[in-house]
Amino acid sequence: MIDIAAGRLSAATLARNFSDAHPPLTAPQSVVEADRCHHCYDAPCIEACPTGIDIPGFIGRIATGDLGGAAEAILDQNILGGACARVCPTDILCEGVCVRVKQGERAVSIGALQRTAVDWQMAQGQPYRRAPARGTRIAVVGAGPAGLACAHRLSLRGHDVDLYDARPKPGGLNEYGIAAYKVPDDFAQNEVAFVLEIGGITWYGDRVLGQNLSLETLRETYDAVFLGIGQSGVRALGLAGEDADGVFDAVDFIETLRQSPPAAVPIGARVVVIGGGNTAIDAAVQARRLGADDVTLVYRRGPENMNATPEEQEWALQNLVTIRHWATPAAIETEAGHVTGVRFARGAPDETGKPVYDRGELTIPADMVLKAVGQLYEDPIDGTLALSGGRILVDARGETSLPGVFAGGDCTAGEDLTVAAVRDGRDAAEAIDTMLTERGR
């Protein structure tokens, strides 16, 4: 029986399920937590942060009540520090190397403390002021974390920026691709507004590179171009039945939920999620929170091989998601054009650790399947730029094979992290500024 429906839960329950999953620390809690920091001289947490935030420095300012100073220490390096405080995998980055952990204790809650400081500053407004306008214009294509960070730093240096994106709203992954309970209350748009408050940045939506936006024209029109266009493609399973009713890409499911009231989003009673990354976890947990009776996440290898962090895996289990390991999809079963289940080949690692699927089959009934087997870069400009590993090739400064065209974030080879995209955009902006300064611009 096909059972996909919207509004499975009451409005009150849905509101609770999609409210802030990790509420902020209170002011007294922030001070107590900040006092736990050892303020290490050679702090490993700084090294672990892709944007190089002075973590002991900002925590020390929180301990003394200087929230403005704490926010400055964060935002100087990461203008999207609010989003990163909410979505960064701190358990494998800064908190993962906290000296407290090495002492057998709980890590200092660095992400929560960062949120304390940045949320305070966002309530006060943009703390930065632009340098005098220099008469230069830069095109930034892609209004996700990389593009926003690049645009803000360029504006700070006195350059005028035109910010383009294929979607109707800016924000990129933070607006369209992250679980709603991680960034509730329209946080992504509030942060975009905070970034744009610096001035000098003009926003244009519904501009698609390779369609109604030409790289050749951008190069002729602007002093430099930055591309932060992410990965728009999704990997296919390559199985018969993949186009059946009830089979969806997890990224599309998450986007629909981010752009719609939860009560309007249909969900199956029995949902199978295929994949092992954070997108798979976000899809599975949100399916449960929409009211699915049974959600099973299936991954082809063991938990230690999953891209989802241990913390995210535990979060899924806490939300009553069943996780099955060592099973790879073999067939999507259908009836009258609609998915009825997924058949998996079961396996185990051989003596070298390589998966071998020779342990029979497992069929999981489903009326909805969410595919989360990875995204890929789809080249919108037909080989105009050199690629490496299927993504845009850049040098150490972030410049592509075309002079004056820079790129960063998920469209280039990197860590596939929001915070890494912010770093790429920030660093490319500095490289562009240096290039133009050397040219006397």
298 DSSP β-pair partners: 274, 324
Q: What is the CATH number of the domain that holds 284?
A: 3.50.50.60
**What CA–CA distance (Å, rounded) separates 174 from 24?**
18
Q: In terms of domains, do 398 and 415 share one?
A: yes
pLDDT at 89: 94
Question: What is the Cα Rg of the chain in Å?
Answer: 23
pLDDT at 320: 97
Q: What is the CATH number of the domain that holds 49?
A: 1.10.1060.10
Strand pairing class (160-164; 355-356): unpaired
pLDDT at 382: 86
pLDDT at 272: 98
Q: In terms of domains, do 54 and 120 share one?
A: yes
Number of domains in the chain: 3
Q: Please report, to the nearest 10 degrees, the dihedral formed by the alpha carbons of residues 95, 100, 106, 110 taken in order.
A: -30
Last residue of a domain, one of 374, 391, 426: 374
Q: In terms of domains, do 268 and 281 share one?
A: yes
pTM of the model: 0.95
Q: In terms of domains, do 36 and 112 share one?
A: yes
Report yes or no on 16 lying in a domain.
no
Range of the domain at 143: 137-232+377-438
Report yes or no on 17 lying in a domain.
no
Q: In terms of domains, do 389 and 369 share one?
A: no
Q: In terms of domains, do 147 and 160 share one?
A: yes
Low-confidence spans in the chain with pLDDT less than 70:
1
Q: Which tens digits make up the pLDDT trace of 313-343?
A: 999 999 999 999 999 999 999 999 999 999 9
pLDDT at 1: 63
Of 308, 293, 285, the residue nearest 367 (C-alpha): 293
Q: In terms of domains, do 264 and 348 share one?
A: yes
Q: In terms of domains, do 71 and 152 share one?
A: no
**What CA–CA distance (Å, rounded) separates 345 from 175?**
36
Last residue of a domain, one of 77, 96, 124: 124
Q: In terms of domains, do 289 and 220 share one?
A: no
pLDDT at 189: 98
pLDDT at 427: 98
